[in-house]
Amino acid sequence: MAAIVLLGTAFGVGEGIETTEQAEAYRACGGRLAQGFHPARPMPAAAIEQLLREGVRSPR
């Protein structure tokens, strides 16, 4: 996990965070920004626009 956090630091975001356990471990190692199925599933552009306008309603 530490290697993923280091890569995330280099690129600005951790990639491939798929589960709650991975997200918790990533945060415990100091990771801050993540992408993958856990933070958000793929969605159409219109849904992303709505998410950006309205924000996230409930944390995962």
> Model confidence over 1-58: pLDDT tens digits?
677 677 777 877 888 899 999 899 888 888 888 889 998 889 999 998 988 888 876 5
- DSSP assignment string, 1-51: -HHHHHHHHHHSSEE---SHHHHHHHHHTT---EESTTT-----HHHHHHH
What integer pLDDT is reported at residue 45 of this predicted model?
93
Residue 60: inside a domain:
no
59 lies in some domain: no
pLDDT at site 2 = 73
Q: What is the pLDDT of residue 33?
A: 86
* Total domains, the chain: 1
Check: CB of residue 17 under 8 Å from CB of residue 34. yes
Decide: 40 and 18 in contact? Cβ < 8 Å.
no
Q: Check residue 18 and give its pLDDT.
A: 92
Residue 45 domain-assigned?
Answer: yes
Question: Is 0.75 topped by the overall pTM?
Answer: no
Residue 13 sits in which domain range? 2-54
| Contact status, residue 31 vs residue 15, Cβ threshold 8 Å | no
